[in-house]
Amino acid sequence: MSIDAQPTLGQTSQETSQETSQETLENWLDQITDDEIATARQLSLVPLKSTILHHGDPGGATVYDHKGQAYIDCTAQAWTLNVGYCHPDVIAAIEAQMRRLTHVRYAYPTIPRLKLIRRLATMFPGSPYQVCLNVQGGGAANEAAMKLAMINKPGADIFLVASHGYHGASLATLTASQYFPMVTRFPSFGRAHFVRFPYPYCYRCPLAKEPRTCGLACLDLVEQAIRSAHGVVAGLLIEPMQGAGGQVPTPPGYLAGLKELCQQHDIFLIFDECQTAFGRVGVMSAAEYYNVAPDMLVLSKALGGGLPIGALLARSDLGLKGFTSAEEHTTFGSAPLSFAAALANIAVIEREGLCERSRIMGEMVTARLRQLQEEVDIIGDVRCPGLFIGVELVEDRESKTPATERAAAFVELAKQAGVLFDVSMPEIVRGRLTMRNVIKIKPPLTITEEEMEQVLETFTFCVQQVAQIPASMKQDIVRQMMAEANLA
Ligand SMILES: Cc1ncc(COP(=O)(O)O)c(C=O)c1O
């Protein structure tokens, strides 16, 4: 049948019509009783936050709960909504695609899938890349990278990973990640396949050196890790700027040094850019920021404009020994809605100049926060670039003791004031919960100047308040945090 002979797009060939009433739809999407909420919470296998989110400003940074309370969102919902909530162009692409196809089997391409492969192949340093898309997100894309490294280096099944890294919640990527007690209780699954090296966290240098004079001595630690590996190393997986681990960019020159090391030892360098790509760091990717092309680049989060998606980009010669038709197969992996959304999302980022906007706004915000640091002792460090901002709270600047409890109180107080923030991952040291002391400021890149002003005012108020919490109250805050995390 020729395209002309098809039914008009938007109609089905049989007369299937919508039976669900408007009232039913509203009941599903807009209305809920206290009783329904309480029973659903009991039935949920995972803990759920108290706030029930309902809708967001189209293309904006403000989200509303089911009772209409507004929040400026400095989390972009897991650093994902770079183009804001429900961007009209993303919605238009999804709606149009929905009327054509919502699902096809993995091996079938659709037009948006083919266009997205072509688009991603040439967007990043080191291009052209070969592309593998998924719909489960970053963890699955990281696993695809590990698989491709093993295919291209037969017999090698060891991966170097950094301390405080986070790469996903599948069993392999959990082990690749730092053991974060609130996130995983399966730290040893497949441990034999990973060797950890210290991440270059300059504020807390693993070698206790000064950034200006260290000569990147921490690269030697990577070399030692390579030599200590008890098998053949296939790849080195790293976030070029750590997110969950505390908003920590690698220092200048580090990734270039890492690339050289990897080349010397025939190891594939894999950048996990789930958090850093698509304008978050003021340019399209951290690879671009540092001008270092990895062998493989992993994407997710902000790629889909709010729809689930993940992607592995691999140096084109690695594709010569690529996947079979089954190795990356998943039922929903050819996801027409996600791929259409991603095409619209990339177009919006470019058209609205969101990389530049993120860079300029990030410079303004970090300058203001550094001024505030002069007045508030518990601000130990302010880190950027772009709208990838972390503010590390400490008990005092000398000892750098993480102000874990003050950070928890900060997040709660800010929420009451109408701003959502989140914090870095925790650690348990000698049975005590620590770290989780970096406040993240990572809103949609479309956040308005007025909203950002309100964010800064709220930040200033809250940090001044929590700086005054007496030591005697901190224990109560910790107990509550441990109880909420099922760790008490
Ligand atoms: C750097 C990084 N990699 C991987 C992941 C895992 O992505 P997903 O949750 O989509 O599997 C995350 C999620 O937070 C992440 O921050």
pLDDT, tens digit, for every residue of 79-127?
A: 999 999 999 999 999 999 999 999 999 999 999 999 999 999 999 999 9
Residue with tokens 């601000």: 379
If 0-12 CB within 10 Å is exposed, 13-18 middle and 19+ buried, where does residue 45 land? exposed
- What is the average per-residue pLDDT within 363-372? 98
The alpha carbon of 429 and the centre of ligand 1 are apart by a number of angstroms equal to 24
Q: Is the pLDDT of residue 183 over 90?
A: no
354-484: which CATH number, 3.90.1150.10, 3.50.50.60, 3.20.20.70, 1.10.599.10?
A: 3.90.1150.10
Q: Which pTM was predicted?
A: 0.94
Question: Ligand 1: does its nearest atom lie under 6 Å from the Cβ of 144?
Answer: no
The confidence score (pLDDT) of residue 45 equals 95
Tell me what the mean pLDDT of segment 308-313 comes to. 98
Write down the pLDDT at residue 11: 59
Q: What distance in angstroms lies between residue 242's CA and the mean position of ligand 1's atoms?
A: 11
Q: What is the pLDDT of residue 128?
A: 97
Q: Is 242 in the pocket of ligand 1 (CB under 6 A)?
A: no
Query: Can you give the pLDDT at residue 1?
Result: 40
Q: Hey, whose CA ends up nearest to atom 4 of ligand 1?
A: 167
390 CB near ligand 1 (under 6 Å): no
| Site to substitute for ligand 1 among 301, 312, 332, most atoms within 8 A of C-beta | 301
Atom of ligand 1 nearest to the CA of 308: 10
More confident residue, 416 or 487: 416
Residue 42: count of CB within 10 angstroms of its CB: 7
Atom 13 in ligand 1: residue holding the nearest Cα: 168
Is 164 in contact with 402 (CB distance < 8 Å)? no
Ligand 1 centre distance from Cα of residue 451 (Å)? 27
Ligand 1 centroid–CA 450 distance in Å is 30
Does 488 score more than 50 pLDDT? Answer: no
* Per-residue confidence (pLDDT) for residue 476, from 0 to 100: 75
CB-ligand 1 contact for 288 (6 Å cutoff)? no
Average pLDDT of the residues in 26-49: 97
CATH 3.40.50.720 describes domain 93-351: no
Kindly give the pairing relationship between strand 296-299 and strand 268-272. Answer: parallel
Distance 298 CA to ligand 1 centre (A): 10
Each residue's pLDDT tens digit, 134-173: 999 999 999 999 999 999 999 999 999 999 999 999 999 9
Residue 129 has pLDDT above 70, yes or no: yes
* pLDDT for residue 14: 62
Identify the pLDDT of residue 16. 86
- Using the mean position of ligand 1's atoms as its centre, give its distance from the Cα of residue 90 in Å: 22
The pLDDT value given to residue 486: 53
Residue 431 has pLDDT above 80, yes or no: no
Residue 95's closest CA among 342, 340, 343?
A: 340
Q: Give pLDDT, residue 61.
A: 98
Q: What is the C-alpha separation between 101 and 187, in angstroms, rounded? A: 40
274 CB near ligand 1 (under 6 Å): yes
Q: What is the pLDDT of residue 238?
A: 99
Query: What would the DSSP string read from start to end of 322-389?
Result: ---TTTT--TT-S-HHHHHHHHHHHHHHHHTTHHHHHHHHHHHHHHHHHHHHHH-TTEEEEE-STT-E
Greater confidence, 299 or 430? 299
Q: What confidence tens digit (pLDDT) does each residue in 38-53 have?
A: 999 999 999 999 999 9
Same fold, 93-351 and 354-484: no
CB 244 within 8 A of CB 180: yes
Q: What is the reported pLDDT for 4? A: 52
Alpha-carbon distance values, 325 to 105, 163, 304 (Å): 12, 34, 24
- Cα dihedral 56, 57, 61, 62, rounded to 10, equals -70
Domain ranges of the chain: 93-351, 354-484
Tell how far the Cα of 299 is from the centroid of ligand 1, in angstroms.
9
Of the given ranges (33-42, 133-142, 419-428), which has the lowest mean pLDDT?
419-428
**Which residues, in sequence order, are CB contacts of 33 under 8 Å at separation 6+?**
none
Strands (E), 408-448: 419-420, 422-423, 426-429, 432-435, 438-441
| Ligand 1, atom nearest to 139 Cα | 11
